[in-house]
Amino acid sequence: MTLRHLKAPGPAPSTRDVSETVRTLLARIEAGGEAAALAVAAELDGASGPVTVTPDEIATAKAALDEDTKAAIAFAHANIRRFAEAQRGTLSEMEIEILPGVRAGQKVIPVAAAGCYVPGGRFSHIASALMTITTARAAGVEHVAAVSPPRPLHGTAGGGRLAPDMLFAMDLAGADTILTLGGVQGVAAMAFGLFGLPPADIIVGPGNAFVAEAKRQLFGRVGIDMVAGPTDSMILADAGADAMTVAADLVGQMEHGADSPVWLVTTHAPLAEAVMAAVPGLVAALPKANAASARAAWEIASVILADSCEVMAEIADRTAPEHLHVQAADLDWWLSRLTAYGSLFLGAETTVAFGDKAAGPNHVLPTSGAARYTGGLSVHKFLKTVTWQRASAEGVRPIAEATAAISRREGMEAHARTADIRLSRR
């Protein structure tokens, strides 16, 4: 393998150890219930007042939105639902006769209650509401809760309510209950069944380091989709790629901030040089806050020159990026060759932002190399594939004989005798 770093990443920003803070907050909220959750929300978000969103508040939000915004959200929701329903159709129940008189099968059962965390920090993640709630609904979950932090009130540091577009998206996606509650306290409310929620069987959705750590600490007590870190994105490009398009796609992901790495891997040095020359200007043209985030992300970005498409594919598989975008010839070869990514974007006509917002496939994806061993959020995360078996007295005989023999070889005599008793009935 031959490769060369044309731009090596700078040092990654330091991260805080949040585990003890999260552990303390979860224990406090579990012990103190709703009052403790409200107190934590007031301390951390400046939030006050009731957290449960009412039907009147949702109706007011709908009335406040312009028709173009509602149409765009509805379009994205329809695509996400269509894709999730098609995914659900790939998993079916089955039954097979193992031996004469012995039948076994599988059932597919949705969890009873799901909790969806929707980030609301620097950005109001309308799409995350659609991705999580819609997918749970398509899976057949009975009760779907959604939580998101309040937006700051204009001119104050304190927390207000959820934005109208967020409420519209949550309601359209099918949330049964919506709470204006973020951070650890929002996760805890869903896990512990506060504010009238049934305790969640699974909690899904992206969030900051505190949200991710809360999910990690609660895993086992509840299911989770994954422990996600900062978003990341890789572009594989050959000589036929357009430098400005590649640069714009990198910058599009860089606005997530200083801890969100991007990579460009290419076989064409002139393309790499053109992209590196274009990025600063594209960053400078962004609004001030977005530009600051993108500029910081560019500090840890990598540009790598490889000597073949196979080497590019090997780098991608080894990195296992959350988003992998191929802007190169022979897209079918890339689709069959690549094996480790959260979501794959093939060709210059698509872009990661399409997947993030409106195309249909889910944008809650594995980060930090976790795509080596897992995929992203799907209806399957909300479904339990369970098995069953039944047998006739005649058909069970060979299974009982084998069970007794294996159990005794293992030293598990009580297991063997449960088989013996079936054999003795004959």
Enumerate the active-site residues. Answer: 322-323
DSSP state of 406: H
Supply 128's token pair. 């995350």
DSSP state of 380: G
Q: What are the start-end ranges of the H helices in 46-125? A: 55-64, 67-89
Distance of alpha carbon 24 from alpha carbon 132, whole angstroms: 27
Q: Whose structure tokens read 């927390």?
A: 159
- Decide: 242 and 250 in contact? Cβ < 8 Å: no
Distance of alpha carbon 202 from alpha carbon 112, whole angstroms: 9
Supply 44's token pair. 């951390």
Q: Whose structure tokens read 């709630």?
A: 133
Convert 283-338 into a string of H (helix), E (strand) and C (coil).
HHCCCHHHHHHHHHHHHCCEEEEECCHHHHHHHHHHHCCCEEEEECCCHHHHHHHC
Convert 127-171 into a string of H (helix), E (strand) and C (coil).
HHHHHHHHHHHHHCCCEEEEEECCCECCCCCCECCCCHHHHHHHH
- Decide: 323 and 338 in contact? Cβ < 8 Å: no
Distance of alpha carbon 167 from alpha carbon 185, whole angstroms: 19
Strand 102-110's sheet: what is its strand order? Answer: 94-99, 102-110, 383-391
- Decide: 301 and 250 in contact? Cβ < 8 Å: yes
The region, left, alpha or beta by phi > 0 then psi within -120 to 50, assigned to residue 257 is left
Strand 233-237's sheet: what is its strand order? Answer: 3-7, 302-306, 262-266, 233-237, 323-327, 343-346
Q: What are the start-end ranges of the H helices in 155-260? A: 164-173, 183-192, 209-218, 243-254
